[in-house]
Structure 1
Amino acid sequence: MINALVFGANGQLGRSLALCGATFPQVRLILMDRSKCDLSDLSIIASAIRDNQPHVVINAAAYTAVDLAENDRENAYQVNCDAVDMMARAADDLHIPLIHFSTDYVFDGGANHPYREDDPVAPLGVYGASKLAGENAVRVAAKRHLIFRTAWVYSPFGKNFVKTMLGLMAQRDALTVVNDQRGCPTSAIDLANATLRLLPLIVDPAFSGFGTYHLVAGNQMTWFDFAKRIHDAAVEQFGANWTGRNCRIDPVSSDAFPTIARRPAYSIMSTQKFTDTFGYGLPDISESLPACLNNLEAGG
Structure 2
Amino acid sequence: MKKILVTGANGQLGSELSVLSSKYPEYEWFFADRTKATLDNLDLLPIQLNDIKADVIFNCGAYTAVDKAETEKELAFTVNSSAVEIIAKYASENKVKLIHVSTDYVFDGTSSVALNEEAFTNPINAYGESKLAGEIACMKQNPDSIVVRTSWVYSKFGNNFVKTMQRLMQEKEEISVVNDQVGSPTYAADLAQAMINIVNSPNWISGTYNYSNEGEISWYEFALSIKELGNYNCQVNGIPSSSYPTPAKRPSFSLLDKNKIKSIYNLEIPYYKESLKKIFL
TM over 0.5: yes
Pair 1:123 & 2:110 matched: no
Aligned position for 1:238: none
Tell me the C-alpha RMSD between the 2 structures: 1.2
Give the total of aligned pairs.
281
Q: Which whole-Å CA distance do the structure 1 matches of 2:277 and 2:167 have between them?
A: 16
Cα displacement string for residues 240-289 of structure 1 (whole angstroms, at most 9, x for unaligned residues): xxxxx211111111111001111000010100010110001321223211
TM-score, normalised to structure 1's length?
0.91
Q: Which whole-Å CA distance do the structure 1 matches of 2:65 and 2:47 have between them?
A: 27
Give the superposition deviation at 1:26: 2.4
Aligned position for 2:274: 287
Q: Which whole-Å CA distance do the structure 2 matches of 1:232 and 1:25 have between them?
A: 38
Q: Read off the aligned partner of 2:206 and give its amino acid letter.
A: F
Aligned position for 2:103: 103
Conservation of the 8 A alpha-carbon contact between 1:182 and 1:267: yes
Alpha-carbon distance change, 291 to 28 in structure 1, aligned in 2, over 3 angstroms: farther
Q: Which moved more, 1:40-49 or 1:123-132?
A: 40-49
Q: Which whole-Å CA distance do the structure 2 matches of 1:20 and 1:27 have between them?
A: 12
Q: Which whole-Å CA distance do the structure 2 matches of 1:17 and 1:51 have between them?
A: 21
TM-score, normalised to structure 2's length?
0.97
Cα displacement string for residues 79-99 of structure 1 (whole angstroms, at most 9, x for unaligned residues): 000011000011111011111
Give the superposition deviation at 1:293: 2.8
Give the superposition deviation at 1:208: 4.7
Conservation of the 8 A alpha-carbon contact between 2:227 and 2:233: no
Aligned position for 1:219: 215
SS in 2 for 1:42: coil
Q: Read off the aligned partner of 2:271 and give its amino acid letter.
A: D
Conservation of the 8 A alpha-carbon contact between 1:228 and 1:249: yes
SS in 2 for 1:66: coil
After superposing on structure 2, the runs of 4+ consecutive aligned residues of structure 1 that deviate more than 6 Å are none
SS in 2 for 1:147: strand
Q: Which whole-Å CA distance do the structure 1 matches of 2:127 and 2:113 have between them?
A: 23
Please list every run of 5 or more consecutive structure 2 residues that lacks an aligned counterpart in the other structure. Answer: none
Aligned position for 2:2: 2
Please list every run of 5 or more consecutive structure 1 residues that lacks an aligned counterpart in the other structure. Answer: 236-244, 295-300
After superposition, where does 1:225-244 map in structure 2 within 5 Å? 225-235=221-231
Aligned position for 1:91: 91
Aligned position for 1:183: 183
Aligned position for 1:297: none
Give the superposition deviation at 1:216: 0.8
Give the superposition deviation at 1:125: 1.2
Q: Which whole-Å CA distance do the structure 1 matches of 2:54 and 2:248 have between them?
A: 37
Q: Read off the aligned partner of 2:40 and give its amino acid letter.
A: S
Q: Read off the aligned partner of 1:218 and give its amino acid letter.
A: E
